[in-house]
Chains A and B, each alone.
Chain A
Amino acid sequence: MKKPLVKTVNYFLLAAAAVMVLIPFFWMLGTALKSEAEALHIPPTLLPKTYRFDNFAKVIQTEPLMRYFLNTLIVSAFVVLISTMITVLAAYAFARLEFKGKDFLFAVVLIAVMLPQEIMIITNFMTIAKLKWLNTFRALILPYCVNAFNIFLLRQTMKQIPEDLYIAARIDGLTNFKYLWKVVLPVAKPTILTTMLLSMIWIWDTYAWPNLVTTQDNLRLISNGLKNAFTTSTGNIQYELQMAAATLVTIPLILVFVLLRKYIFSGITRGGMKG
């Protein structure tokens, strides 16, 4: 029905947009594979003349990038574990239980969703400094352990489970906790996985807070480590190594995304992502 010309133009425009999106990735990977001399050649070559895969090995040897990866994994693992438990419990209370002050407390959660983290950074920094927690993993983990948006998202999912099921279960003598464990969790599993993934992406990208509360190399997260890598004090940058490091940091998250796309998309289309 549609004119073939219109269709061709549509595909052409979409392909052009795809090329624009891919250019930075192309240049990152291309530069990462150049030799030191070629990376400093003026004008630059479009494609590397020789492919230097050992740049990646060099990056890992010269910068504690693996240490940064490990730190990020440790922090992500703790944050995901703790915040998932906290989120599931709170979401269940808001979705299923009756208690005094419910509306007020839920309003607090909704307001917390809207408040930007960046406003809290000053007081949280003071809190952490007063606790003498600067340069500890606790400082990196604890403030991320509660996520109002995840509570909201999970509560919406749990609300969709019919109340009759709950009443029947209670009549059968199931405790709240057993009901949550045996009935609610299996149903809410996809949403829980979504919140876990969003938390992981959050930690992977986080920059300002870790930069503020850690000064030691052995506590750095991946974004902070990458930011400071391969730039000499005079501002000279080893571009091929910097881009190789950027590639190494980029690939894991892209892999996670491609494999678990479904869960990430369902999370964002049901209420956006934290900024």
Chain B
Amino acid sequence: MAAMKRDRNPIHYDRAAYFYLLPALVLLAVFTVYPVINTLITSVKLDYRFLTGAFKGFSAGHYLEILRDKTFQRACFNTAFVAFVCAPASLITALATALLLNSIKKFRNFLTTLYYLPQVTNIIAAGMVFALLFNTNFGFINLVLSWFDIDPVPWISGVGIAGSADLYTRSYIRCLFILFVYSLWQGLSLKVILFLSGLQSINLQYYQAAQIDGTSQWNILRKITFPLLSPVTMYVLITSVITALKSYASVVALFGDAYGPIGDNSKMMITIVGYIIDSLDDYLSPGAISKASAAAFILLLIIVILTAVQFYFSKKWVHYK
């Protein structure tokens, strides 16, 4: 092909190409490329005022300020919980579900469609429903517990937590549990589809050969399925961790605009994106936008580093055909 091209020398450059690209490139420049650069610059501007554009020099102070901020630390911890506890847990559940789905024929399409429903459910609607499921008085979960004579659990409750560290911790753990259950339910759908399509693209001859050799089911899984599925696993891991790092709307829907049960004033369940958006609320006060920018840039760094690390390690255990 390359030789053919050289025969038709010189390569024909189409200047019209730039007209085809113009609208996309202009919008990408304004709404994607410029924002990344501008976020970095704004994050080190001291006392930046939005209306006048005035600032008093450059400093890394905003980074130190938010790193010391208790709310930002909480946001980092919660975000890490979703990314490194919830996302891997839903990955494992999804893999198991996909393996089961792949072993059956009847109802497979029906079940796949059914498992996908959470993904097409509005994120705010889903969060509200979960908040009601775990409601102390009117929730389904406590109703089921009552069938086993278990007293109602105050799942999302901030009663007395302002004055007691012990009550605060208990309330916090319960909220994390709700977030975990929600993430499992919400995250399963997309991953099941991806794993299932990965499983179905594995050449059946491998399995036939293993069957002739009398290989055990477990060894087939370990020596054939998992290695051949590893590119998909890698992809699912990267995308689901990154998605989790950006959690925001689900937390607002579950726990409200104050990121916590009524009675909590510490923004108990805030995430990094929530912290960024909250900092924008008073965007007219000096320094607020710089603080938000610093938080955004930290998030970007975490995402870039994670992507790099995952790609690096993927070379060691991912088998590409």
Contact = CB atoms under 8 A, between A and B. Distances in A.
Contacts of A86: 23-24, 27
A20 B185 contact: yes
Contact of A119 (B125, B133, B243, B300): B300
Tell me the interface secondary structure of chain B in the complex.
Answer: helix
Contacts, number: 268
Nearest to B8: A167
Nearest to A245: B125
A108 interface: yes
A22 interface: yes
A171 B276 CA distance: 55
Given A120-B32, A272-B194, A27 B129 contact: yes
Interface residues of B, number: 93
Contacts of A66: none
A116 B310 CA distance: 17
Interface stretch (A35-43, A49-57, A188-196): A35-43
A148 B33 CA distance: 12
Contact of B132 (A99, A115, A148, A243): A243
A146 B128 CA distance: 31
B231 interface: no
B9 interface: no
Contacts of B266: none
B24 A151 contact: yes
B116 interface: yes
Interface string B222-242: 000000000000010001001
A226 B125 contact: yes
Interface of A: 2, 7, 10-11, 13-14, 17-18, 20-25, 27-28, 31, 39-44, 46, 85-87, 89-90, 92-94, 97-100, 102, 105, 108-109, 112, 114-127, 129, 142-143, 145-146, 148, 151, 163, 176, 201, 204-205, 207-208, 211-212, 222-224, 226-227, 235, 239, 242-243, 246-247, 249-250, 253-254, 256-258, 261, 264-265, 268-269, 272-273, 275
Contact of B103 (A10, A250, A275): A10
Contacts of A223: 122-124, 249
A151 B28 CA distance: 11
Contact of A105 (B21, B122, B246, B280): B21
Contact of B280 (A122, A247, A258): A122
B50 A126 contact: yes
A204 B197 CA distance: 26
A13 B297 CA distance: 43
B183 interface: no
14 contacts: A14-B111, A24-B126, A92-B20, A115-B36, A116-B300, A116-B303, A118-B273, A123-B42, A142-B27, A208-B248, A239-B138, A265-B197, A272-B239, A275-B246
